[in-house]
Structure 1
Amino acid sequence: MDIRGAVDAAVPTNIIAAKAAEVRANKVNWQSYLQGQMISVEDCDFIKKFEVANSEDKQTILTKEGNQCAKTFLNLMAHISKEQTVQYILTLIDDTLQENHQRVNIFFDYAKKTKNTAWSYFLPMLNRQDLFTVHMAARIIAKLAAWGRDLMEGSDRNYYFNWIKTQLSSQSSQYVQCVAGCLQLMLRVNEYRFAWVEADGVNCITAVLSNKCGFQLQYQMIFCVWLLAFSPQLCEQLRRYNVVPALSDIFQESVKEKVTRIILAAFRNLLEKSAERETRQEYALAMIQCKVLKQLENLDQQKYDDEDITDDIKFLLEKLGESVQDLSSFDEYSSELKSGRLEWSPVHKSEKFWRENAVRLNEKNYELLKILTRLLEVSDDPQVIAVAAHDVGEYVRHYPRGKRVIEQLGGKQLVMNHMHHEDQLVRYNALLAVQKLMVHNWEYLGKQLQSTEQSTPAVAARS
């Protein structure tokens, strides 16, 4: 799947397109504005000439009078308060830029003369009351920023990205797909990808995806992940976010081919663009952990007209197949823990695993232990809490200084907090973990635990 062209195709023709058609049909009586001395003769003459010109004549006008065009558009926008007319002007500007991307330069040239930035005229419009005006201005800003010769930087960019995040987070606006389209356009530019990640934009994307949004918004948000993963350095940074589990959940349930296609492309980018072998392996393990391999095998049985889908399935099957062969029990455990989706897989109950690997939970400044204790604090899934409590107990049982480490990380108190949990398996595993944290005679406890675990159902029933 090629980045060129795909981004433009992805900006949806949604509610904004329907409203724009309605706005275009309501021609403005410029003469009345001139008579009311609200606009100048110069601006009136230009706009009347420009709006009736065909595509070829428009290009000629813009080549000769680009500065006048920008000046007239911005003067009209600034001096007319009637919302319907402002909507018309913005639609005319958006149409002009959409016809030819190079036309953004008329605003850059004009802004340079007036010592402004091209988007400075449109950013204040994001605070207007009328939703069509706001979102048409947002579209124009995205086009200027993505197609222009200068990059949007500093406070302007921060303001625009924060506005996008707020709009996506609320998801209440009927124009939310338009907002997503603006982000898609911005993220085709490498510098904006880094700025978006720095602005905590990935958490915003995963939050939207986990919020059961419609398939079109799913597609757009995953498209943004696909774009981010074109930058090798960002592939490293994206490891910090639960991108793979978020995409995997949708991958299992999606019935829309366009959504499946973009998820496959995003997965492929994460594996293909990552510069570090360790990063590629981590993504592959996360996909295996999230049962992507099984879904790929199912999809491989089907026929697709789109060659990209077939190619991506083959690529992913091959890469994940290689990773499965290299998979150690510790890799499997580490991947499961990082996904935050603990289940009673065999490694948790394996005495051999804990004997050989407990000390490895200390690696990278206790990275895995910190994740384990964090799950005890933030998860609301009883199974995850029960498994996490069990694992804390096994760690302190097999690592001599484990009790002190768990106490320093706040894990002891977190386990104790779950001793009165409403779920009986959580209570049971928290109780066992606390016993392991307290006791000094391991041999005695080992015998006690053995007899306790054999009577687990009875214990659970009484608790």
Structure 2
Amino acid sequence: GRLPVCSSQVIEEAEVGHSRLVMVAEFDREALLEESGNISSEAIWRTTEIRSLKPNWTSFRDARLIEDRDAQLLIRFQREPLHTQGALMSEDSQAFCLAFLTILKNVNNEESMQYLLTTLDELMKDSRDVAKLFKQMVGSRMDPFSVLTDLMSKPDDLVAARACNVVVHFINAGLVPTENSVRSLMDFVRTETQRDSKHKKFCFLAILSVLQALLRDHERRIVFYEAKGLHMLIPLLKNHNGNTQLIYQVCHCIWLLSYTNEIKPRLADMQIAAILTHILKQVQKEKVVRMILGTFVNLISEGEMVNVLSVCGAHRLLENMKQRTWNDEDINSDMDTLLEKVSLNVETRSNFDDYSKEILSGELEWTPMHRSIAFWDKNVHKFLEKDMTVLKTLLEYIKPGTSVENKTIAIALHDVGEFVRAHPSGKALVTKHGAKPYIMHHLTSHDQSVNKEALLCVQKLMCH
């Protein structure tokens, strides 16, 4: 892969020299707007409204929740406009950071939490220097990661989401959470993403962005994997409900995992490849395409991955994708790399075992084997092996009333026709298994591809 594995350090954009890592771990608000239809940024985040709040800092002092010095600092801070608040913090960074963290930890007041988290999020979004001021607090009794992790569990989605954003800012600024903090953050993300839709969409995506930031570090990727993190990600891809931003963020996590040698063998399997290939067919967003192709490139030399991609129909898919114009250079480069590898594999490894796996998986695609005369002439006798399981499965797919996609029926009809053409007893065997009426039934199909393949199959039955 192109991403250097740097143990115990955050992978920065400059290290990678690759356009796809630019701000990838930042919370993507523009994409969120896109996902949210008519919901505006201000409607979601209420920044102006919350910034105009005037929490009563002295009341918290009077309740002995904070010191007088903290209250005076916060009053002074609140009087400043946003564009000068960062500079004010840097004048006495330790005092301001301690005051903020003390409030966030000790004061269970929604207004004050929303005000401080919103302000910190906005300040850090404009300048990483603000986030770096908190570095001196890491590992102390007021550890910023520990304080923010607790806030991420608050029932107020806005507080939880802003807390997630601030954690991401900390990591992007180079703050390194302690081992305990890493485990707490990962446990939180895993728990929250596996629950039923407790959070609003913007909060759920903010929680996922914390995982994206954490996985930029090699050691944390190992920790995540060993904690069965993939079991969390795969269901999210299966049940994305068309949420492009969710798909992107999960694919970005998998892409990051694909840079770790210890994890690559688990990623290079049929299930993940089939899911990602299916998403490529459905989603045209370049950032999603970029992540999936980048993952495939990282895994292409791993084990049987190139063979797995062939079985999943990647060859035809990539050829179709090449016909489109892509603005992202990484996409074009990765397509060329993958096409070269997969095309060579199709030529050298179109074998019956691969074909059988595809047919028995139920995930039929127009892989090159189906249309290869050489494949059929070489392998047709193998359809009689193992009690003709593969042939019987094809016939089951074309049986009227079977709940399968039209594409599966069309491919199965094509293959039954090829079996009839290539095998001396093909017609007799298909007739013996009562498949003729099945084929005739599909001549009246309203699906064009099914109708076409049924007609060709009938012609082969008549001619052989």
- Return the alpha-carbon distance in structure 2 between the equivalents of residues 326 and 458 of structure 1: 33
Distance 1:284 1:91, change over 3 A: same
Contact persistence 1:285–1:331 (CA under 8 A): no
* C-alpha deviation, 1:56, in angstroms: 6.9
Q: Is 1:118 the counterpart of 2:111 in the alignment?
A: no
Distance 1:92 1:113, change over 3 A: same
Residue in 1 aligned with 2:29? 12
Distance 1:353 1:101, change over 3 A: farther
- Return the alpha-carbon distance in structure 2 between the equivalents of residues 37 and 118 of structure 1: 21
The structure 1 residue matched to 2:183, chosen from 158, 161, 164, is 158
Contact persistence 1:235–1:270 (CA under 8 A): yes
Q: Deviations over 1:88-122 (max 9, x none)?
A: 122223334333334444434234453x6431222
The structure 1 residue matched to 2:156, chosen from 130, 152, 158, is 130
Uncovered stretches (5+) of structure 1, i.e. residues with no partner: 272-276, 359-385, 392-421, 426-449
Residue in 2 aligned with 1:286? 308
Contact persistence 1:229–1:235 (CA under 8 A): yes
Contact persistence 1:229–1:270 (CA under 8 A): yes
- Partner-residue secondary structure (3-state), 1:195: helix
* C-alpha deviation, 1:452, in angstroms: 7.6
Residue in 2 aligned with 1:93? 120
- Return the alpha-carbon distance in structure 1 between the equivalents of residues 240 and 138 of structure 2: 42
- Return the alpha-carbon distance in structure 1 between the equivalents of residues 167 and 360 of structure 2: 38
- Return the alpha-carbon distance in structure 2 between the equivalents of residues 210 and 86 of structure 1: 35
- Show the 5 A alignment for 1:275-354: 277-279=301-303, 282-329=304-351, 332-333=354-355, 336=358, 341=363, 350=379, 353=382
Distance 1:292 1:10, change over 3 A: farther
- Return the alpha-carbon distance in structure 2 between the equivalents of residues 278 and 5 of structure 1: 26
- Deviating runs (4+, > 6 A) in structure 1? 337-340, 342-349, 388-391, 422-425, 450-453, 458-461
Contact persistence 1:228–1:234 (CA under 8 A): yes
- Return the alpha-carbon distance in structure 2 between the equivalents of residues 339 and 5 of structure 1: 38
Q: Is 1:82 the counterpart of 2:112 in the alignment?
A: no
With the length of structure 1 as denominator, give the TM-score of the two structures. Answer: 0.67
- Return the alpha-carbon distance in structure 2 between the equivalents of residues 232 and 424 of structure 1: 40
Higher helix share: 1
Distance 1:269 1:25, change over 3 A: farther
Q: Deviations over 1:167-199 (max 9, x none)?
A: 323462212222222222222222222222222
- Return the alpha-carbon distance in structure 1 between the equivalents of residues 324 and 123 of structure 2: 43
* C-alpha deviation, 1:350, in angstroms: 4.5
- Return the alpha-carbon distance in structure 1 between the equivalents of residues 402 and 53 of structure 2: 63
* C-alpha deviation, 1:246, in angstroms: 0.7
The structure 2 residue matched to 1:45, chosen from 55, 66, 72, is 72
Contact persistence 2:359–2:393 (CA under 8 A): no
* C-alpha deviation, 1:248, in angstroms: 0.8
Q: Deviations over 1:33-79 (max 9, x none)?
A: 45666543211221122234457754444434121112100222234
Residue in 1 aligned with 2:215? 187
Uncovered stretches (5+) of structure 2, i.e. residues with no partner: 1-17, 33-38, 395-400, 405-426, 439-464
- Return the alpha-carbon distance in structure 2 between the equivalents of residues 453 and 315 of structure 1: 41
The structure 2 residue matched to 1:228, chosen from 257, 261, 265, is 257
Contact persistence 2:269–2:308 (CA under 8 A): no
Distance 1:312 1:278, change over 3 A: closer
Residue in 2 aligned with 1:176? 204
Q: Is 1:265 the counterpart of 2:328 in the alignment?
A: no
Q: Deviations over 1:257-287 (max 9, x none)?
A: 443333333323333xxxxx453xx222222
- Return the alpha-carbon distance in structure 1 between the equivalents of residues 383 and 434 of structure 2: 24
Give the aligned residue type for 1:222.
C
Residue in 1 aligned with 2:170? 144
Distance 1:9 1:130, change over 3 A: closer
Give the aligned residue type for 2:252.
F
Residue in 2 aligned with 1:238? 267
Q: Is 1:196 the counterpart of 2:196 in the alignment?
A: no
The structure 1 residue matched to 2:247, chosen from 218, 221, 225, is 218
Give the aligned residue type for 2:311.
Q
Give the aligned residue type for 1:289.
V
* C-alpha deviation, 1:331, in angstroms: 6.1
- Partner-residue secondary structure (3-state), 2:323: coil
- Show the 5 A alignment for 1:439-450: none
Give the aligned residue type for 1:138.
C
- Return the alpha-carbon distance in structure 2 between the equivalents of residues 194 and 455 of structure 1: 55
Distance 1:20 1:242, change over 3 A: farther
Q: Percent identity of the aligned residues?
A: 24
* C-alpha deviation, 1:453, in angstroms: 6.4
Residue in 2 aligned with 1:442? none
Give the aligned residue type for 1:246.
I
- Return the alpha-carbon distance in structure 1 between the equivalents of residues 246 and 302 of structure 2: 32
- Return the alpha-carbon distance in structure 2 between the equivalents of residues 304 and 454 of structure 1: 49
* C-alpha deviation, 1:226, in angstroms: 1.8
Distance 1:454 1:294, change over 3 A: same
- Partner-residue secondary structure (3-state), 2:221: helix
Contact persistence 1:202–1:241 (CA under 8 A): no
The structure 2 residue matched to 1:250, chosen from 279, 282, 285, is 279
- Return the alpha-carbon distance in structure 1 between the equivalents of residues 228 and 302 of structure 2: 24
Give the aligned residue type for 1:164.
V
Distance 1:216 1:19, change over 3 A: same
Q: Is 1:26 the counterpart of 2:53 in the alignment?
A: yes
Q: How many residues align?
A: 371
- Partner-residue secondary structure (3-state), 1:261: helix
